[in-house]
């Protein structure tokens, strides 16, 4: 009699190349990660609104009902608090739930389960029961969805100890990070983006796992450190390419996970550049960018040649009008202005 057990992946293996011609969408990368791990582990099931018969509200789980059947790909009614709570009990019992929130905006109605129970169970039971659940879904402004449907929860949820938060910015990382999340012993909040689900890139056929807590250096330069996570990483890369034409070379760090936060890579970069701009699609007050800036000031204040700069979502509810929403979110123009300002090359 062998108990089912979760084994951490071997992170010593070198990650496969990001270059190649197996071009798939971000959503397909997510689906591959889930399907591969579900084939490996019968304790794993996917539950959420429209994940089965509808094939996923955003087609992430397309075809999974066919492969795994209705007992493992489970359509839940609109009861986020109910099915998040179900996942807590199932995970404590020994299963490995994957819970899809159609949008992280809807996770707020499940706040009691995901903030009071999930991250605290291990502690308040004195180490007897953890909640190894992967909660995943769309985070951030989907495009003119208005104030209640555009939540970037990273600022809110990163405040709570007891879970890990991953936020991939591209298909390759989406697959590699989700694979790791599904092999984690701890709860993982996995923040995707409706606006990136159709993004395409090479995703290797071979199996790979991206370790949490290791930022990726996407662009290299010594003028400034640009730190971001999730969708705005792509704006940072675009901005960096523009800036290079102006003779400003910047480091762009994609954090990939918020908890753990690879502050060591940030500090190494700041020690080279002396300047930091943090781009964060959640609100500025007490948010992730604030935390990054604080830790930089605590750990390498003397290396700074300029006060740190934050590029956040505007500190207002999300607007509907297209032009207002553009101004509300971090975008390439705002990043360019911030870097030009901090490097004195306005």
Partner 1 sequence: MSVAPAAPHNQSPRTASGPSMVPQERASDSVPPATLLRWLRDMFLIREFENRCGQSYQQAKIGGFCHLYTGQEAAAVGTINSLQPDDPIITAYRDHGHALARGMDPRACMAEMYGKAAGCAKGKGGSMHMFDKPNWMFGGHGIVGAQTPVGLGLAFAARYEWEVMGKAVDGGPAKKKVALAYLGDGALNQGALHEAMNLGGLWDIPCIWVVENNGYSMGTSIERGTTMAHDLRKKADAYGIRGEIIDGFDVINLYDNFKPLVDWCRDNQKPAFVDLKTYRYLGHSMSDPQKYRTKEEVEQFKGKDSIDRYASVLMNERKGPDGGPILNEQMMMDMQAEVKETVRAAIEFAENSAVPDASELYTDVLLNPMPNMSPSGEYRIGAKNPLL
Residues within the interface to partner 1 (CB under 8 A) = 1-4, 8, 42-43, 45, 71-72, 76-77, 79, 81-95, 112-113, 116-117, 121-130, 132, 161-162, 164, 184-186, 212-213, 259-264, 291, 294-295, 298
- Which of 32, 49, 100, 149 is labelled catalytic? 149
d(CA 215, CA 207): 20
Q: Which is nearer to partner 1, 28 or 280 (CB)?
A: 280
Q: Which H/E stretch holds residue 305? A: none
Strands annotated E in 127-199:
134-138, 164-166, 188-192
Q: Pick the closer one to partner 1 by CB: 78 or 321.
A: 78
Q: Provide the minimum distance between the beta carbon of 60 and partner 1 in the complex, in angstroms, as a whole number.
A: 22
Tell me how far, at minimum, the Cβ of 76 lies from partner 1, in Å: 7
**Looking at beta carbons only, is 131 or 203 nearer to partner 1?**
131
Q: How far is the CB of 165 from partner 1 (least distance, A)?
A: 10
The catalytically annotated residue of 49, 80, 184, 192 is 80
CB of 2 to partner 1, least distance (A): 5
| Closest to 48 measured CA to CA, from 134, 164, 143, 162 | 134
154 is catalytic: no
Q: Which is nearer to partner 1, 89 or 341 (CB)?
A: 89
Least Cβ distance, residue 128 to partner 1 (angstroms): 5
Nearer to partner 1 by C-beta: 154 or 199? 154
Active-site annotation holds for 67: no
- What is the residue-wise DSSP string for 37-106? HHHH-TTEEEEETTSSTTS-TTSTTTTHHHHH-TTTEEEPPS-HHHHHHHHHHHHHHT-EEEEEEEEGGG
Q: How far is CA 246 from CA 2, 239, 242, 250, 305, in A?
A: 62, 11, 7, 11, 21
**For the chain, what is the largest distance between any 2 Cα atoms, rounded to a whole number of angstroms?**
68
The residues that are catalytic are 80, 149
């Amino acid at each position: 009699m062998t108990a089912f057990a979760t084994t951490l992946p071997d992170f010593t293996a070198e990650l496969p190349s990001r270059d190649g011609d197996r071009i798939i969408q971000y959503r397909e990368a997510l689906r591959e990660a889930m399907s591969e791990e579900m084939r490996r582990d019968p304790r794993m099931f996917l539950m959420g609104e429209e994940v089965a018969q509808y094939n996923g509200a955003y087609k992430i789980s397309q075809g999974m009902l066919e492969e795994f059947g209705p007992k493992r790909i489970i359509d839940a009614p609109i009861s986020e608090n109910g099915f998040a709570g179900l996942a807590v009990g199932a995970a404590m019992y020994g299963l490995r739930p994957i819970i899809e929130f159609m949008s992280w905006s809807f996770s707020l109605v499940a706040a009691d389960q995901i903030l009071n129970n999930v991250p605290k169970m291990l502690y308040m039971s004195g180490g007897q029961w953890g909640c190894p659940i992967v909660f995943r879904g769309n985070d951030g402004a989907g495009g003119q969805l208005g104030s209640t449907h555009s939540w970037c929860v990273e600022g809110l949820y990163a405040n709570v100890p007891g879970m890990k938060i991953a936020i991939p910015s591209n298909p390759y990382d989406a697959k590699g990070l989700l694979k790791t999340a599904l092999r984690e012993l701890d709860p993982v909040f996995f923040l995707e983006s409706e606006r990136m689900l159709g993004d395409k890139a090479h995703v290797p056929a071979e199996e790979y796992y991206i370790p949490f807590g290791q930022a990726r250096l996407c662009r290299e330069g010594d003028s400034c450190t640009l730190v971001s996570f999730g969708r705005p990483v792509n704006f940072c890369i675009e901005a960096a390419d523009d800036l290079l034409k102006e003779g400003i070379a910047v480091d762009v760090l994609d954090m990939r996970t918020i908890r753990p936060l690879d502050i060591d890579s940030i500090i190494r970069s700041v020690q080279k550049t002396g300047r930091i701009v943090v781009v964060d699609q959640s609100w500025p007050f007490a948010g992730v960018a604030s935390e990054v800036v604080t830790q930089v000031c605590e750990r390498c204040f003397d290396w700074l040649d300029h006060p740190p700069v934050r590029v956040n979502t505007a500190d207002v509810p999300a607007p509907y009008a297209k032009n207002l929403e553009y101004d509300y979110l971090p975008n390439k123009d705002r990043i360019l202005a911030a870097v030009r300002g901090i490097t004195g090359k306005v």
